[in-house]
Chains A and B, each alone.
Chain A
Amino acid sequence: MSDLRELLSDVAEQARRYDVTDRAVRAARRRARARRYAPVAALAVVALVVGGVWIPLASTRTGDSMVAGPVPWLPEVVAAPAQAPPVLGANQRVGLGSLLYRVRGRPDTILLAQNGRQYTIPDAGDPVALALSPDGRWLLLDVDHRLLMQDLRDGGRRELSTTVPDRISWRWSSDGRWLVLAPALAETTAPAGDHTLRLIDLTAGGPVWSRTLPPGTFVLGVSGSGEIFTVYLGTEPDAPRTGVESLGVLHPSRAARTLPLRRIAGVLRPGEQLNVTPGQVLVDGSHAIMRTWIAQAVGDVTAVSADDVLVVDTGSGAAQRRIELPDPVLRAAPRGRPADPVTDARDLLVTAPEGVLLLHHRLDGTVDLELMDRETGELRLATRRADDRIEDLRPRGYAS
Protein backbone atom coordinates (compact mmCIF):
# COMPACT_ATOMS: atom_id res chain seq x y z
CA MET A 1 0.00 0.00 0.00
CA SER A 2 1.30 3.45 -0.84
CA ASP A 3 1.94 6.01 1.87
CA LEU A 4 -0.29 8.93 2.77
CA ARG A 5 1.62 11.37 0.61
CA GLU A 6 1.16 9.18 -2.44
CA LEU A 7 -2.52 8.80 -1.74
CA LEU A 8 -2.94 12.54 -1.24
CA SER A 9 -1.12 13.02 -4.55
CA ASP A 10 -3.56 10.61 -6.19
CA VAL A 11 -6.47 12.66 -4.90
CA ALA A 12 -4.76 15.91 -5.93
CA GLU A 13 -4.35 14.55 -9.46
CA GLN A 14 -8.15 14.73 -9.77
CA ALA A 15 -7.87 18.54 -9.63
CA ARG A 16 -8.39 20.57 -12.78
CA ARG A 17 -6.46 23.67 -13.73
CA TYR A 18 -8.77 26.29 -12.26
CA ASP A 19 -7.86 29.15 -14.55
CA VAL A 20 -9.70 32.00 -12.88
CA THR A 21 -6.89 34.54 -13.07
CA ASP A 22 -8.85 37.11 -15.09
CA ARG A 23 -11.88 36.80 -12.84
CA ALA A 24 -9.67 37.25 -9.80
CA VAL A 25 -8.11 40.40 -11.27
CA ARG A 26 -11.56 41.84 -12.04
CA ALA A 27 -12.75 41.05 -8.50
CA ALA A 28 -9.62 42.68 -7.07
CA ARG A 29 -10.33 45.83 -9.10
CA ARG A 30 -13.90 45.95 -7.81
CA ARG A 31 -12.68 45.47 -4.25
CA ALA A 32 -10.03 48.17 -4.63
CA ARG A 33 -12.63 50.59 -6.05
CA ALA A 34 -15.05 49.84 -3.19
CA ARG A 35 -12.31 50.48 -0.62
CA ARG A 36 -11.23 53.67 -2.35
CA TYR A 37 -14.74 55.12 -2.55
CA ALA A 38 -16.17 53.88 0.79
CA PRO A 39 -14.96 56.93 2.79
CA VAL A 40 -16.24 59.26 0.05
CA ALA A 41 -19.63 57.52 0.04
CA ALA A 42 -19.83 57.76 3.85
CA LEU A 43 -19.07 61.50 3.70
CA ALA A 44 -21.69 61.96 0.99
CA VAL A 45 -24.33 60.24 3.12
CA VAL A 46 -23.42 62.42 6.11
CA ALA A 47 -23.68 65.52 3.95
CA LEU A 48 -27.10 64.52 2.64
CA VAL A 49 -28.44 63.73 6.09
CA VAL A 50 -27.11 66.98 7.54
CA GLY A 51 -28.73 68.85 4.67
CA GLY A 52 -32.06 67.14 5.32
CA VAL A 53 -32.19 65.56 1.89
CA TRP A 54 -32.49 61.88 1.14
CA ILE A 55 -31.64 60.62 -2.30
CA PRO A 56 -32.03 56.87 -2.83
CA LEU A 57 -28.85 55.22 -4.09
CA ALA A 58 -30.46 53.56 -7.08
CA SER A 59 -27.43 51.51 -8.04
CA THR A 60 -27.57 49.52 -4.80
CA ARG A 61 -31.13 48.40 -5.34
CA THR A 62 -32.39 45.77 -7.69
CA GLY A 63 -35.84 46.57 -9.02
CA ASP A 64 -37.15 43.03 -8.64
CA SER A 65 -35.94 42.75 -5.08
CA MET A 66 -38.46 45.39 -4.01
CA VAL A 67 -41.46 43.23 -4.89
CA ALA A 68 -42.52 40.94 -2.08
CA GLY A 69 -44.08 37.51 -2.57
CA PRO A 70 -46.04 35.58 0.06
CA VAL A 71 -43.44 36.47 2.72
CA PRO A 72 -43.62 40.27 3.11
CA TRP A 73 -40.04 40.66 4.29
CA LEU A 74 -38.57 38.60 1.45
CA PRO A 75 -38.20 39.78 -2.15
CA GLU A 76 -39.91 37.80 -4.90
CA VAL A 77 -36.66 37.71 -6.86
CA VAL A 78 -33.05 38.04 -5.78
CA ALA A 79 -30.90 39.61 -8.46
CA ALA A 80 -27.20 40.40 -8.31
CA PRO A 81 -26.60 44.15 -8.40
CA ALA A 82 -24.86 45.48 -11.50
CA GLN A 83 -22.16 47.08 -9.34
CA ALA A 84 -20.74 45.88 -6.04
CA PRO A 85 -22.97 47.38 -3.31
CA PRO A 86 -21.34 49.71 -0.73
CA VAL A 87 -19.49 48.09 2.12
CA LEU A 88 -21.51 47.75 5.35
CA GLY A 89 -19.90 50.00 7.95
CA ALA A 90 -18.99 48.79 11.44
CA ASN A 91 -21.70 50.91 13.07
CA GLN A 92 -23.99 51.46 10.13
CA ARG A 93 -27.79 51.58 10.51
CA VAL A 94 -29.56 49.89 7.65
CA GLY A 95 -32.99 48.97 9.07
CA LEU A 96 -34.07 45.34 9.23
CA GLY A 97 -32.28 42.71 7.18
CA SER A 98 -34.07 40.20 4.94
CA LEU A 99 -31.53 37.88 3.46
CA LEU A 100 -27.85 37.14 3.02
CA TYR A 101 -26.57 35.66 -0.22
CA ARG A 102 -23.47 35.29 -2.32
CA VAL A 103 -22.75 35.76 -6.00
CA ARG A 104 -20.80 32.89 -7.53
CA GLY A 105 -17.22 33.84 -8.21
CA ARG A 106 -17.28 36.74 -5.74
CA PRO A 107 -15.88 36.12 -2.28
CA ASP A 108 -18.06 38.57 -0.36
CA THR A 109 -21.48 38.12 1.20
CA ILE A 110 -24.29 40.52 0.30
CA LEU A 111 -26.84 41.73 2.82
CA LEU A 112 -30.24 42.57 1.37
CA ALA A 113 -32.17 44.87 3.70
CA GLN A 114 -35.95 44.87 3.88
CA ASN A 115 -36.02 48.30 2.20
CA GLY A 116 -34.34 46.77 -0.86
CA ARG A 117 -30.89 48.23 -0.32
CA GLN A 118 -27.92 45.93 -0.58
CA TYR A 119 -24.59 46.01 1.22
CA THR A 120 -21.34 44.16 0.76
CA ILE A 121 -19.92 42.41 3.79
CA PRO A 122 -16.26 41.83 3.00
CA ASP A 123 -14.53 38.53 3.31
CA ALA A 124 -11.85 37.11 5.60
CA GLY A 125 -9.73 39.53 7.54
CA ASP A 126 -12.81 41.70 7.77
CA PRO A 127 -16.17 40.65 9.23
CA VAL A 128 -17.56 37.38 7.87
CA ALA A 129 -21.36 37.48 7.77
CA LEU A 130 -22.94 34.33 9.16
CA ALA A 131 -26.68 34.90 9.60
CA LEU A 132 -29.59 37.22 10.35
CA SER A 133 -31.78 36.81 13.42
CA PRO A 134 -35.43 35.72 12.87
CA ASP A 135 -36.64 39.30 13.34
CA GLY A 136 -34.03 40.72 10.94
CA ARG A 137 -32.58 42.97 13.63
CA TRP A 138 -29.29 41.25 14.34
CA LEU A 139 -26.49 40.31 11.99
CA LEU A 140 -24.24 37.57 13.34
CA LEU A 141 -20.63 38.25 12.35
CA ASP A 142 -17.30 36.54 12.74
CA VAL A 143 -14.64 39.21 13.14
CA ASP A 144 -11.15 37.76 13.44
CA HIS A 145 -12.50 34.61 15.09
CA ARG A 146 -14.65 36.55 17.55
CA LEU A 147 -18.43 36.34 17.30
CA LEU A 148 -20.24 39.66 17.23
CA MET A 149 -23.81 40.77 16.67
CA GLN A 150 -24.47 44.01 14.85
CA ASP A 151 -27.79 45.69 15.54
CA LEU A 152 -28.89 46.70 12.05
CA ARG A 153 -31.37 49.23 13.44
CA ASP A 154 -28.92 51.33 15.44
CA GLY A 155 -25.55 50.03 14.26
CA GLY A 156 -24.37 48.96 17.75
CA ARG A 157 -22.24 45.87 18.15
CA ARG A 158 -22.11 43.29 20.93
CA GLU A 159 -19.41 40.72 21.42
CA LEU A 160 -20.75 37.24 22.11
CA SER A 161 -17.62 35.23 22.79
CA THR A 162 -13.91 35.70 22.61
CA THR A 163 -13.09 32.24 21.33
CA VAL A 164 -15.05 29.99 19.05
CA PRO A 165 -14.17 26.62 17.59
CA ASP A 166 -13.09 26.29 13.97
CA ARG A 167 -16.58 25.31 13.00
CA ILE A 168 -19.46 26.61 15.02
CA SER A 169 -23.16 25.98 14.75
CA TRP A 170 -25.88 28.34 15.83
CA ARG A 171 -29.64 28.04 16.32
CA TRP A 172 -32.23 30.80 16.91
CA SER A 173 -35.57 30.34 18.62
CA SER A 174 -38.30 31.10 16.10
CA ASP A 175 -39.43 34.16 18.09
CA GLY A 176 -35.90 35.59 17.94
CA ARG A 177 -35.40 35.68 21.70
CA TRP A 178 -32.75 32.99 22.08
CA LEU A 179 -29.55 32.18 20.27
CA VAL A 180 -27.61 28.99 20.98
CA LEU A 181 -23.95 28.71 19.99
CA ALA A 182 -22.50 25.22 19.94
CA PRO A 183 -19.78 23.26 18.16
CA ALA A 184 -20.54 22.18 14.59
CA LEU A 185 -20.68 18.53 13.61
CA ALA A 186 -16.98 18.02 12.88
CA GLU A 187 -16.00 19.73 16.13
CA THR A 188 -18.67 17.85 18.10
CA THR A 189 -17.33 14.47 17.10
CA ALA A 190 -13.68 15.36 17.75
CA PRO A 191 -12.89 14.18 21.29
CA ALA A 192 -10.43 17.04 21.82
CA GLY A 193 -12.69 19.71 20.32
CA ASP A 194 -14.40 22.61 22.05
CA HIS A 195 -17.75 21.28 23.23
CA THR A 196 -19.11 24.40 24.91
CA LEU A 197 -22.74 25.33 24.47
CA ARG A 198 -23.75 28.96 25.09
CA LEU A 199 -27.32 30.20 25.42
CA ILE A 200 -27.75 33.90 24.69
CA ASP A 201 -30.82 35.94 25.57
CA LEU A 202 -31.05 38.54 22.81
CA THR A 203 -33.46 40.68 24.83
CA ALA A 204 -31.15 40.78 27.86
CA GLY A 205 -28.09 41.29 25.70
CA GLY A 206 -25.71 38.50 26.61
CA PRO A 207 -24.95 34.90 27.51
CA VAL A 208 -27.17 33.59 30.28
CA TRP A 209 -25.98 30.03 30.49
CA SER A 210 -23.24 27.74 29.23
CA ARG A 211 -22.27 24.16 29.71
CA THR A 212 -19.97 21.57 28.23
CA LEU A 213 -21.66 18.97 26.08
CA PRO A 214 -20.44 15.37 25.99
CA PRO A 215 -18.48 14.63 22.78
CA GLY A 216 -20.78 13.50 19.97
CA THR A 217 -23.73 15.61 21.17
CA PHE A 218 -25.19 18.00 18.62
CA VAL A 219 -27.62 20.88 19.24
CA LEU A 220 -30.74 20.70 17.04
CA GLY A 221 -32.60 23.81 18.15
CA VAL A 222 -34.00 25.99 20.88
CA SER A 223 -37.64 26.67 21.73
CA GLY A 224 -39.26 29.97 22.69
CA SER A 225 -39.07 28.94 26.36
CA GLY A 226 -35.31 28.44 26.16
CA GLU A 227 -35.35 24.63 26.00
CA ILE A 228 -32.39 23.35 24.01
CA PHE A 229 -32.83 20.12 22.06
CA THR A 230 -29.82 17.90 21.47
CA VAL A 231 -29.14 14.56 19.84
CA TYR A 232 -26.30 12.18 20.58
CA LEU A 233 -24.66 11.20 17.29
CA GLY A 234 -21.66 9.38 18.75
CA THR A 235 -18.04 10.11 18.03
CA GLU A 236 -17.60 7.39 15.42
CA PRO A 237 -19.07 7.91 11.94
CA ASP A 238 -20.37 4.35 11.72
CA ALA A 239 -21.94 4.17 15.17
CA PRO A 240 -25.17 2.14 14.88
CA ARG A 241 -28.28 4.32 14.91
CA THR A 242 -31.93 3.40 14.96
CA GLY A 243 -33.13 6.79 13.73
CA VAL A 244 -35.52 7.16 16.67
CA GLU A 245 -32.98 7.94 19.39
CA SER A 246 -34.27 10.03 22.27
CA LEU A 247 -33.47 13.71 22.21
CA GLY A 248 -31.85 15.48 25.14
CA VAL A 249 -33.60 18.58 26.48
CA LEU A 250 -31.60 21.15 28.46
CA HIS A 251 -32.81 24.31 30.14
CA PRO A 252 -30.95 26.90 32.23
CA SER A 253 -33.27 26.57 35.23
CA ARG A 254 -34.87 23.14 34.84
CA ALA A 255 -33.55 19.62 35.21
CA ALA A 256 -32.36 18.00 32.01
CA ARG A 257 -34.85 15.54 30.50
CA THR A 258 -35.01 13.13 27.60
CA LEU A 259 -37.64 13.21 24.89
CA PRO A 260 -38.21 9.68 23.58
CA LEU A 261 -39.15 9.47 19.91
CA ARG A 262 -40.27 5.83 20.01
CA ARG A 263 -43.90 6.88 19.64
CA ILE A 264 -43.11 8.46 16.30
CA ALA A 265 -42.01 5.10 14.93
CA GLY A 266 -45.69 4.09 14.95
CA VAL A 267 -46.63 6.72 12.38
CA LEU A 268 -43.88 5.83 9.92
CA ARG A 269 -45.03 4.05 6.76
CA PRO A 270 -43.37 0.92 5.37
CA GLY A 271 -39.92 1.78 4.03
CA GLU A 272 -39.78 5.10 5.86
CA GLN A 273 -37.17 6.00 8.46
CA LEU A 274 -36.73 8.82 10.89
CA ASN A 275 -33.28 10.32 10.83
CA VAL A 276 -32.75 13.02 13.39
CA THR A 277 -29.65 14.62 11.94
CA PRO A 278 -28.24 18.13 11.91
CA GLY A 279 -30.01 20.47 9.53
CA GLN A 280 -33.05 18.20 9.28
CA VAL A 281 -34.95 19.26 12.39
CA LEU A 282 -36.41 22.69 13.12
CA VAL A 283 -37.76 23.74 16.49
CA ASP A 284 -40.87 25.82 15.87
CA GLY A 285 -42.37 27.24 19.06
CA SER A 286 -43.40 24.19 21.09
CA HIS A 287 -43.09 21.82 18.13
CA ALA A 288 -40.27 20.11 16.31
CA ILE A 289 -40.48 19.74 12.57
CA MET A 290 -38.85 16.51 11.39
CA ARG A 291 -38.56 14.68 8.09
CA THR A 292 -39.39 11.15 7.10
CA TRP A 293 -36.74 9.52 4.91
CA ILE A 294 -37.14 7.10 2.04
CA ALA A 295 -34.60 4.99 0.18
CA GLN A 296 -34.57 5.03 -3.62
CA ALA A 297 -32.31 3.15 -6.05
CA VAL A 298 -30.49 5.49 -8.45
CA GLY A 299 -28.19 3.75 -10.91
CA ASP A 300 -25.80 1.61 -8.88
CA VAL A 301 -26.47 3.26 -5.53
CA THR A 302 -29.26 3.60 -3.05
CA ALA A 303 -29.88 7.17 -2.00
CA VAL A 304 -31.76 8.04 1.16
CA SER A 305 -33.68 11.30 0.87
CA ALA A 306 -35.95 13.42 3.01
CA ASP A 307 -39.62 13.18 2.07
CA ASP A 308 -42.61 14.21 4.23
CA VAL A 309 -42.75 16.45 7.29
CA LEU A 310 -43.83 15.36 10.76
CA VAL A 311 -44.91 17.96 13.31
CA VAL A 312 -43.89 16.62 16.73
CA ASP A 313 -44.97 17.89 20.14
CA THR A 314 -41.80 18.70 22.09
CA GLY A 315 -43.53 17.98 25.40
CA SER A 316 -44.74 14.45 24.72
CA GLY A 317 -42.67 13.40 21.70
CA ALA A 318 -45.85 12.42 19.82
CA ALA A 319 -46.28 13.17 16.13
CA GLN A 320 -49.26 15.52 15.86
CA ARG A 321 -49.61 15.51 12.10
CA ARG A 322 -47.96 14.61 8.85
CA ILE A 323 -47.56 17.11 6.04
CA GLU A 324 -47.19 15.28 2.75
CA LEU A 325 -44.67 16.85 0.41
CA PRO A 326 -44.08 15.78 -3.20
CA ASP A 327 -41.79 12.72 -3.29
CA PRO A 328 -38.15 13.53 -4.03
CA VAL A 329 -37.11 12.71 -7.61
CA LEU A 330 -33.57 11.46 -8.10
CA ARG A 331 -31.56 10.88 -11.23
CA ALA A 332 -28.05 9.46 -11.54
CA ALA A 333 -25.38 12.13 -11.93
CA PRO A 334 -24.08 12.62 -15.48
CA ARG A 335 -21.24 10.25 -16.41
CA GLY A 336 -17.82 11.30 -15.28
CA ARG A 337 -19.13 13.35 -12.37
CA PRO A 338 -18.39 11.63 -9.09
CA ALA A 339 -21.17 13.55 -7.38
CA ASP A 340 -24.44 12.88 -5.61
CA PRO A 341 -27.47 12.03 -7.73
CA VAL A 342 -29.29 15.00 -9.27
CA THR A 343 -32.28 15.64 -7.06
CA ASP A 344 -35.63 17.40 -7.06
CA ALA A 345 -36.09 17.67 -3.33
CA ARG A 346 -36.77 20.08 -0.52
CA ASP A 347 -34.66 20.91 2.53
CA LEU A 348 -35.99 22.49 5.71
CA LEU A 349 -34.44 25.91 6.06
CA VAL A 350 -36.06 28.19 8.66
CA THR A 351 -39.33 28.79 10.45
CA ALA A 352 -40.99 32.17 9.97
CA PRO A 353 -44.22 33.78 11.19
CA GLU A 354 -45.73 33.08 7.76
CA GLY A 355 -44.83 29.37 7.72
CA VAL A 356 -41.81 27.16 7.15
CA LEU A 357 -39.29 28.13 4.49
CA LEU A 358 -37.90 25.30 2.40
CA LEU A 359 -35.09 25.24 -0.12
CA HIS A 360 -36.40 23.58 -3.26
CA HIS A 361 -33.65 22.04 -5.42
CA ARG A 362 -34.89 21.22 -8.92
CA LEU A 363 -33.52 18.76 -11.44
CA ASP A 364 -32.46 21.59 -13.75
CA GLY A 365 -30.20 22.95 -11.01
CA THR A 366 -32.39 25.89 -10.01
CA VAL A 367 -32.98 26.52 -6.32
CA ASP A 368 -35.94 28.49 -4.92
CA LEU A 369 -37.22 29.42 -1.50
CA GLU A 370 -40.67 27.97 -0.90
CA LEU A 371 -43.13 28.75 1.87
CA MET A 372 -44.93 25.78 3.43
CA ASP A 373 -48.18 26.45 5.27
CA ARG A 374 -47.89 24.97 8.78
CA GLU A 375 -51.44 23.63 8.80
CA THR A 376 -52.24 22.62 5.23
CA GLY A 377 -48.78 21.97 3.85
CA GLU A 378 -49.57 24.13 0.81
CA LEU A 379 -46.36 25.14 -0.97
CA ARG A 380 -45.91 28.59 -2.52
CA LEU A 381 -42.91 30.08 -4.25
CA ALA A 382 -41.46 32.71 -1.89
CA THR A 383 -38.24 33.86 -3.56
CA ARG A 384 -36.54 32.82 -6.75
CA ARG A 385 -33.05 33.59 -7.99
CA ALA A 386 -32.76 35.86 -11.04
CA ASP A 387 -29.99 33.60 -12.32
CA ASP A 388 -27.79 30.75 -11.17
CA ARG A 389 -24.99 33.05 -10.03
CA ILE A 390 -27.02 33.74 -6.88
CA GLU A 391 -26.14 31.15 -4.27
CA ASP A 392 -26.06 30.41 -0.55
CA LEU A 393 -29.44 32.05 0.24
CA ARG A 394 -29.69 32.68 3.98
CA PRO A 395 -33.02 34.24 5.01
CA ARG A 396 -33.69 35.51 8.53
CA GLY A 397 -33.33 32.81 11.15
CA TYR A 398 -30.87 30.76 9.08
CA ALA A 399 -29.00 28.26 11.22
CA SER A 400 -25.92 26.22 10.53
Chain B
Amino acid sequence: MEDRDGFQEFVRARLMSLSRVAYLLAGDHNAAEDLVQSTLMKVALRWHQVREAADPDAYVRRILYNERISAWRRRGRGAEVLTDTPPERPSTVDEAEAVARRLMLRRALARLTARQRATIVLRFFEDLSPAEAAEVLGCSVNAVKSQTHHAVGRLRALAPELAELLERSTEVPR
Protein backbone atom coordinates (compact mmCIF):
# COMPACT_ATOMS: atom_id res chain seq x y z
CA MET B 1 0.00 0.00 0.00
CA GLU B 2 1.23 3.44 -0.92
CA ASP B 3 2.02 5.69 2.09
CA ARG B 4 1.48 3.03 4.72
CA ASP B 5 2.99 5.25 7.41
CA GLY B 6 0.50 8.01 6.62
CA PHE B 7 -2.35 5.53 6.86
CA GLN B 8 -1.10 4.15 10.18
CA GLU B 9 -0.72 7.63 11.61
CA PHE B 10 -4.20 8.66 10.44
CA VAL B 11 -5.76 5.57 12.00
CA ARG B 12 -3.79 5.82 15.26
CA ALA B 13 -5.17 9.30 15.90
CA ARG B 14 -8.76 8.18 15.33
CA LEU B 15 -8.88 4.57 16.45
CA MET B 16 -10.48 5.16 19.84
CA SER B 17 -13.23 7.41 18.51
CA LEU B 18 -13.88 4.95 15.65
CA SER B 19 -14.02 2.12 18.21
CA ARG B 20 -16.58 3.98 20.33
CA VAL B 21 -18.89 4.67 17.39
CA ALA B 22 -18.46 1.07 16.18
CA TYR B 23 -19.43 -0.24 19.60
CA LEU B 24 -22.52 1.96 19.70
CA LEU B 25 -23.54 0.82 16.24
CA ALA B 26 -22.75 -2.87 16.68
CA GLY B 27 -23.68 -3.42 20.32
CA ASP B 28 -20.97 -5.91 21.29
CA HIS B 29 -17.20 -6.10 21.22
CA ASN B 30 -16.79 -8.84 18.59
CA ALA B 31 -19.10 -7.19 16.10
CA ALA B 32 -17.54 -3.78 16.83
CA GLU B 33 -14.06 -5.16 16.19
CA ASP B 34 -15.22 -6.71 12.90
CA LEU B 35 -16.81 -3.40 11.96
CA VAL B 36 -13.62 -1.43 12.66
CA GLN B 37 -11.59 -3.94 10.67
CA SER B 38 -13.84 -3.96 7.61
CA THR B 39 -13.98 -0.16 7.71
CA LEU B 40 -10.21 0.17 7.93
CA MET B 41 -9.80 -2.36 5.12
CA LYS B 42 -11.91 -0.16 2.88
CA VAL B 43 -10.07 2.93 4.02
CA ALA B 44 -6.77 1.19 3.17
CA LEU B 45 -8.07 0.21 -0.27
CA ARG B 46 -9.12 3.80 -0.95
CA TRP B 47 -6.37 5.51 1.01
CA HIS B 48 -5.43 7.72 -1.89
CA GLN B 49 -8.99 9.13 -2.14
CA VAL B 50 -9.36 9.39 1.65
CA ARG B 51 -6.09 11.30 1.99
CA GLU B 52 -7.02 13.68 -0.82
CA ALA B 53 -10.62 14.19 0.35
CA ALA B 54 -11.65 17.64 1.57
CA ASP B 55 -12.82 16.08 4.83
CA PRO B 56 -11.14 12.68 5.36
CA ASP B 57 -12.99 12.15 8.66
CA ALA B 58 -16.36 12.50 6.95
CA TYR B 59 -15.23 10.05 4.26
CA VAL B 60 -14.24 7.44 6.87
CA ARG B 61 -17.44 8.05 8.80
CA ARG B 62 -19.48 7.32 5.66
CA ILE B 63 -17.64 4.04 5.17
CA LEU B 64 -18.16 3.04 8.82
CA TYR B 65 -21.90 3.69 8.84
CA ASN B 66 -22.50 2.06 5.48
CA GLU B 67 -20.48 -0.96 6.54
CA ARG B 68 -22.68 -1.35 9.58
CA ILE B 69 -25.90 -1.10 7.63
CA SER B 70 -24.65 -3.69 5.12
CA ALA B 71 -23.46 -6.05 7.87
CA TRP B 72 -26.81 -5.73 9.63
CA ARG B 73 -28.63 -6.75 6.48
CA ARG B 74 -26.36 -9.77 6.04
CA ARG B 75 -26.94 -11.16 9.51
CA GLY B 76 -30.51 -11.76 10.44
CA ARG B 77 -30.54 -13.44 13.81
CA GLY B 78 -28.73 -10.98 16.01
CA ALA B 79 -31.61 -9.32 17.81
CA GLU B 80 -33.65 -12.39 18.61
CA VAL B 81 -31.83 -13.47 21.79
CA LEU B 82 -34.17 -15.22 24.16
CA THR B 83 -32.02 -15.82 27.23
CA ASP B 84 -31.82 -13.21 29.96
CA THR B 85 -28.65 -11.19 30.22
CA PRO B 86 -26.72 -11.48 33.48
CA PRO B 87 -26.61 -8.03 35.07
CA GLU B 88 -23.41 -6.06 35.35
CA ARG B 89 -22.38 -5.88 39.01
CA PRO B 90 -22.61 -2.32 40.33
CA SER B 91 -21.05 -1.33 43.63
CA THR B 92 -23.20 1.69 44.62
CA VAL B 93 -26.80 2.79 44.19
CA ASP B 94 -25.87 5.57 41.74
CA GLU B 95 -23.71 3.21 39.79
CA ALA B 96 -26.51 0.66 39.81
CA GLU B 97 -28.87 3.22 38.30
CA ALA B 98 -26.33 4.13 35.63
CA VAL B 99 -25.73 0.47 34.79
CA ALA B 100 -29.48 -0.15 34.55
CA ARG B 101 -29.91 2.83 32.21
CA ARG B 102 -27.02 1.70 30.03
CA LEU B 103 -28.49 -1.80 29.78
CA MET B 104 -31.92 -0.40 28.93
CA LEU B 105 -30.47 1.77 26.21
CA ARG B 106 -28.32 -1.03 24.78
CA ARG B 107 -31.29 -3.39 24.64
CA ALA B 108 -33.52 -0.76 23.08
CA LEU B 109 -30.87 0.18 20.51
CA ALA B 110 -30.52 -3.48 19.58
CA ARG B 111 -34.18 -3.54 18.52
CA LEU B 112 -33.87 -0.61 16.12
CA THR B 113 -33.21 -1.05 12.43
CA ALA B 114 -29.69 -0.34 11.23
CA ARG B 115 -30.64 3.02 9.79
CA GLN B 116 -32.56 4.09 12.87
CA ARG B 117 -29.65 3.18 15.10
CA ALA B 118 -27.19 4.95 12.80
CA THR B 119 -29.41 8.02 12.83
CA ILE B 120 -29.54 8.08 16.65
CA VAL B 121 -25.76 7.77 16.92
CA LEU B 122 -25.11 10.43 14.28
CA ARG B 123 -27.59 12.91 15.69
CA PHE B 124 -27.23 12.43 19.43
CA PHE B 125 -23.72 11.02 19.92
CA GLU B 126 -21.80 12.60 17.08
CA ASP B 127 -24.01 15.68 17.34
CA LEU B 128 -24.38 16.11 13.58
CA SER B 129 -27.09 18.28 12.03
CA PRO B 130 -29.75 16.56 9.89
CA ALA B 131 -27.95 17.81 6.77
CA GLU B 132 -24.62 16.39 7.92
CA ALA B 133 -26.23 13.09 8.92
CA ALA B 134 -27.99 12.92 5.54
CA GLU B 135 -24.64 13.26 3.79
CA VAL B 136 -23.17 10.38 5.80
CA LEU B 137 -26.13 8.10 5.18
CA GLY B 138 -26.56 9.12 1.56
CA CYS B 139 -30.20 10.12 1.95
CA SER B 140 -32.30 13.29 2.09
CA VAL B 141 -32.51 15.64 5.05
CA ASN B 142 -36.21 14.84 5.33
CA ALA B 143 -35.42 11.14 5.48
CA VAL B 144 -33.05 11.78 8.40
CA LYS B 145 -35.68 13.84 10.20
CA SER B 146 -38.28 11.16 9.71
CA GLN B 147 -35.86 8.36 10.76
CA THR B 148 -34.96 10.37 13.87
CA HIS B 149 -38.62 10.83 14.72
CA HIS B 150 -39.38 7.12 14.28
CA ALA B 151 -36.21 6.01 16.07
CA VAL B 152 -36.86 8.20 19.11
CA GLY B 153 -40.49 7.09 19.20
CA ARG B 154 -39.39 3.49 19.04
CA LEU B 155 -36.80 3.98 21.79
CA ARG B 156 -39.52 5.56 23.91
CA ALA B 157 -41.76 2.53 23.34
CA LEU B 158 -38.98 0.02 23.93
CA ALA B 159 -37.61 1.71 27.05
CA PRO B 160 -40.39 3.72 28.72
CA GLU B 161 -38.05 4.28 31.68
CA LEU B 162 -35.94 6.51 29.41
CA ALA B 163 -38.92 8.52 28.16
CA GLU B 164 -38.12 11.60 30.24
CA LEU B 165 -34.52 11.63 29.06
CA LEU B 166 -35.62 11.22 25.45
CA GLU B 167 -38.15 14.04 25.82
CA ARG B 168 -35.42 16.38 27.04
CA SER B 169 -32.92 15.30 24.41
CA THR B 170 -35.27 15.91 21.52
CA GLU B 171 -36.92 19.12 22.71
CA VAL B 172 -34.76 21.43 20.62
CA PRO B 173 -34.22 20.05 17.15
CA ARG B 174 -31.21 21.43 15.33
Contact = CB atoms under 8 A, between A and B. Distances in A.
A128 B41 contact: no
Nearest to A5: B124
B81 interface: yes
A186 B112 contact: yes
A168 B23 contact: no
Nearest to B121: A8
Interface stretch (A24-32, A53-61, A222-230, A261-269): A24-32
Given A31-B41, A186-B113, A279 B77 contact: yes
Interface residues of B, number: 79
A278 interface: yes
B86 A341 contact: yes
Interface string B160-174: 001011101110000
Contacts of A160: none
A69 B82 CA distance: 31
Given A305-B83, A340-B83, 10 more contacts: A7-B162, A8-B120, A12-B125, A16-B19, A17-B15, A18-B37, A107-B34, A167-B113, A185-B80, A298-B86
Interface of B: 1, 4, 7-8, 11-12, 15-16, 18-24, 28-29, 32-34, 36-45, 66-67, 69-77, 79-88, 98, 101-102, 105-106, 109, 111-116, 120-121, 124-125, 127, 150, 154, 157-158, 162, 164-166, 168-170
Interface of A: 1-5, 7-21, 23-25, 27-29, 31-32, 104-105, 107, 109, 123-125, 128-130, 142, 165-169, 184-187, 189-190, 192-193, 235-237, 275, 277-279, 293, 298-306, 330, 332-333, 338-341, 343, 392, 400
17 contacts: A3-B168, A15-B22, A18-B15, A18-B32, A21-B11, A27-B38, A27-B41, A28-B44, A166-B114, A167-B114, A189-B111, A190-B154, A277-B80, A301-B87, A339-B28, A340-B85, A400-B77
